[in-house]
Structure 1
């Protein structure tokens, strides 16, 4: 049985107990949220090393780290190092987005290697089956999903909502960038060439059967997400979201866990409304967002544009942030890019948890503030989200008085007020 089916039956699984402990809530309360669909607990029965996390309403905001090889950068060893870095920096999931060659050996290795949740996009295997795109059958697409499920993937992105009716909105929507989703573009082109309906939409019952067998969580992909701020909140995006809401109900009724993927590129003033719309149309399913990136003009700094949007999105109801690195729109990220992306996303997630008043979220900030008030540098570095960077900065610029820093020196306001406090005592 899936986590959802067991939750509906009142069965508390080991995965629920472990995830609930991390959230500092009761397993029974978590099971209630899973049963109603506002929380998912991705946990493929074949991912033996998994340390489970729950994603959704009332919980801490989770972050995902993308990795995987491309045709031009086929270094699997480096991608494993990225997974290790993600675990070290306290991410919650990794997605293998490998899109070249035989992806299965690396995927299996990754799942055996990491305790983080693992996601994939099965349709990325479409061009590696030894067939041209028009030759692929509906069974081929379902076979990709089956293979990934067998290998132990905890959640899969399926672009099941980009139907013929949704594609009909492309021309009237007047988009600058009609489809920026790789998987969505594959499905759209296959539909255009063959004249057939989206294979995942047309065979959604078979999709659910596969997910049920392995307890794979569906991450219903936003093939029509905006890839430019100009394109956000248009008819193409919203029409797909309506379809995803319908598929959410079908999946839940079958006992399959579901979360929804969202934008994309979007102006700041549109973010909160989009979060509300997703929750309404998709029956309060957990929302997984890429960014949103709040401007299109910052290549090389898109971890920042994404963190701004991610903080607003999560504070407005998003539950799961997909990190963006400085390399977005430019190249496959290296390890330093990955680190910058993770840190930016973790800052956004924690800032949102503070705004949402997630129980216990502000304890960390209080501890840091107390350490600063006491000029306790050792404690400050221990509490830092990334201790290495501030530690190195301090070593490189040590003041004459080790109690303070080189910004203020004798002018340190904290040092002065501490002396006043001592007199008051």
Structure 2
């Protein structure tokens, strides 16, 4: 579209250091293509084009792809089960214009980083087919690059529509490069995980500069969406003291520890506009993380969770001002009779942005069996 430019190489300090390290030569993916970024003053997000009435090739592809599944399984996909649809209404035929309209309204997102051309365009939203995410990632104790690529391959083969790389071990940069380069589906990450590794696991030593460099590094590798825990505010943290299971989100606990150590507001919240500026230059979507999600049915829909949800709605509006795509990460442990309340509030507070739920898990007594309890 002529709105991006090739960069001479990685522009993040960490990315340049990894590229210059001769010890990593054998491990590195030999990519010949230079990373790209929006031209100065340009916005390259799918939402930006959609709001200007432009149907992109990605939107056309998505319409064809969604219709193929609808044509293959017309009867089960058109059947309405008893219950609440919360306003969702998938048309019998998906048109490119319908895709454009849903993206423009913020009710659907197309995670499609300009540096991930290997990915086939797909859409996440209430008026489209349900999408499933699969999590992979190495740790300090296990798994190398080959194992993670194999995990990704099997996750996609068995129906994963997106994959999140939640690596926390060694060589995160190189592992992610191999995953992205081999993935035909969007890849998501939680950048605060890698930023924490850069300060040797000491949350109080995190800085905006380290986090920003990590964002740019991952944008230039081709990560399609970031989980950003910008709603964990200092004033919400004391509300978790009365919980049965406290803060169970890893990203949420990292930011809570930083806020309490410095007695300052979450820097992801105070720097949110700066994050938007970075993400719109590469078309990376937000998954606004629910760092205060409930870890037990007892804590479901409490003041901390709902306070954060309201803040995520506020941040959604800010991201949309920049034409950056947003989905909202959802809980978590929620008893079945409380799901409707949670859903109604999410639609109201977050302006119908897609709700990417981690379940919800309707019982606490089956850890390790989320595929059954969600």
Same fold (TM > 0.5) = yes
Residue 205 (structure 1) aligned to one of 273, 285, 292:
273
Aligned to 1:17: 60
SS for the counterpart of 1:16 is: helix
Aligned to 1:236: 304
CA distance in 1, matches of 2:104, 2:110: 11
Q: What is the Cα deviation at residue 126 of structure 1? A: 2.8
CA distance in 1, matches of 2:347, 2:222: 29
SS for the counterpart of 2:132 is: strand
CA distance in 2, matches of 1:290, 1:110: 22
Is 1:6 matched with 2:49? Answer: yes
Aligned to 1:318: none
Kept in 2, the 8 Å contact 1:93–1:118? The answer is yes
Is 1:113 matched with 2:182? Answer: yes
- Alignment size in residue pairs: 304
Residue 280 (structure 1) aligned to one of 338, 348, 367:
348
Q: What is the Cα deviation at residue 196 of structure 1? A: 1.9
- Deviation sequence 1:245-282 (CA, Å, 0-9, x none): 00000100111000000100111111122112111110
1:120-199 to structure 2, matched below 5 A, reads 120-130=189-199, 132-171=202-241, 174-199=242-267
Is 1:297 matched with 2:326? Answer: no
- Deviation sequence 1:212-243 (CA, Å, 0-9, x none): 11000000000000111111000000000000
Please identify which structure carries the higher helix content. Answer: 1
Kept in 1, the 8 Å contact 2:135–2:163? The answer is yes
1:335-414 to structure 2, matched below 5 A, reads none
| Unaligned runs of at least 5 residues, structure 1 | 307-425
- Deviation sequence 1:358-387 (CA, Å, 0-9, x none): xxxxxxxxxxxxxxxxxxxxxxxxxxxxxx
SS for the counterpart of 1:168 is: helix
Residue 260 (structure 1) aligned to one of 328, 335, 359:
328
Q: Give the alignment's Cα RMSD to 1 decimal.
A: 1.2
CA distance in 1, matches of 2:369, 2:314: 37
| Unaligned runs of at least 5 residues, structure 2 | 1-43, 68-93
Q: What is the Cα deviation at residue 134 of structure 1? A: 2.4
1:61-80 to structure 2, matched below 5 A, reads 61-80=130-149
SS for the counterpart of 2:188 is: strand
Q: What is the Cα deviation at residue 300 of structure 1? A: 4.0
Q: What is the Cα deviation at residue 187 of structure 1? A: 0.8
SS for the counterpart of 1:169 is: helix
SS for the counterpart of 1:52 is: coil
CA distance in 2, matches of 1:242, 1:91: 30
CA distance in 2, matches of 1:185, 1:100: 18
Q: What is the Cα deviation at residue 130 of structure 1? A: 4.1
Aligned to 1:45: 114
| Structure 1 residues 176 and 81, CA gap change in structure 2 (3 angstroms) | same
CA distance in 2, matches of 1:250, 1:20: 28
Kept in 2, the 8 Å contact 1:245–1:281? The answer is yes
